[in-house]
Amino acid sequence: MFDLTGKHAVVTGGGSGIGLATATRLRRAGASVAIVDREDASAAASRIGAGAHRADVSDAAALTAAVDAAAAAAGPIDILVNNAGVAVEDALEEVDDEQMLRAFGVNALGVLHGMQAVVAHMPAGGTIVNTASLAGLTGFPGYAAYCASKAAVVALTRVAALEYGPRGIRVNCLCPGSVDTPMLASQPSGEIEALLVATAAPLGRIVRPEEVAALIHFLAADDCPVLSGLAVPVDGGIAAGTSVALIEAVAAHAISA
């Protein structure tokens, strides 16, 4: 079940966090994997038996060259995971063009570049999984550029599902909430965000990278080959509504005030 033996996968942003967890899981499921990262990910790739290519996904030519090299090394690409991303925090009134362009350059254009680069190497039956965000489905104060760029990923996924479907290629995206990754830890508000999730999520905890990788594995496998155009929340239940814990916390505060 969910066997990927004989499949060839490319994972962008695969050097750490969700990307590395995904590359590791796909390898364990039998796929050959090529990691693409803007940093040197050769050591991490070597540990899991994957290949490594260096490219900034916001640079279309560089990413295309990396995808071409991955295909030349291991053959047609059956699975593309567009996971590379960047967090940009700023209030709507303070966001400037440079911040917005940085968010869109990596988060949205990176996904576009990846899909454009891979289709020449992807046979019918191939699958593309894009990492969007819960922030692409709903707004969060202080994340104007990030929310906008991740909403673009959801839209690009739906258009790609329509255009690539006739080629036999499925395209889906996942929308994680806060995930316990190095990127979250490096954010100015990362610690506060992690604590908030413990209250806002009905399951009462933050999501782990390996759990996001599990959904990517499911979407990449052939066992349910009719799923395409989806934007799936991976958030501990936050998208379902207001958690009991959050209601109780607000009520306790109101009583004590």
Query: Which residues are known catalytic residues?
Result: 146
CA distance 143 to 13: 21
d(CA 214, CA 67): 23
Which distant-in-sequence residues (6+ apart) come within 8 Å of 129 by Cβ?
79, 80, 81, 82, 171, 172, 173, 174, 216, 219, 220
With H, G, I as helix, E, B as strand and everything else as coil, classify residue 234: strand
Q: Who contacts 88 (Cβ-Cβ below 8 Å, separation ≥6)?
A: 99, 102, 103, 143, 145, 146, 149
Contact between 149 and 90 (Cβ < 8 Å) = no
Q: How far apart are CA 140 and CA 165, in angstroms?
A: 32
- The DSSP bridge pattern shows strands 127-131 and 231-234 to be unpaired
What's the CA gap between 163 and 19, in Å, rounded?
A: 26
Q: To the nearest 10°, the Cα dihedral for 245, 251, 254, 257?
A: -70
Site of tokens 């239940």 = 237
Q: Give the Å distances, CA to CA, from 182 to 53, 171, 185, 209.
A: 20, 27, 5, 10
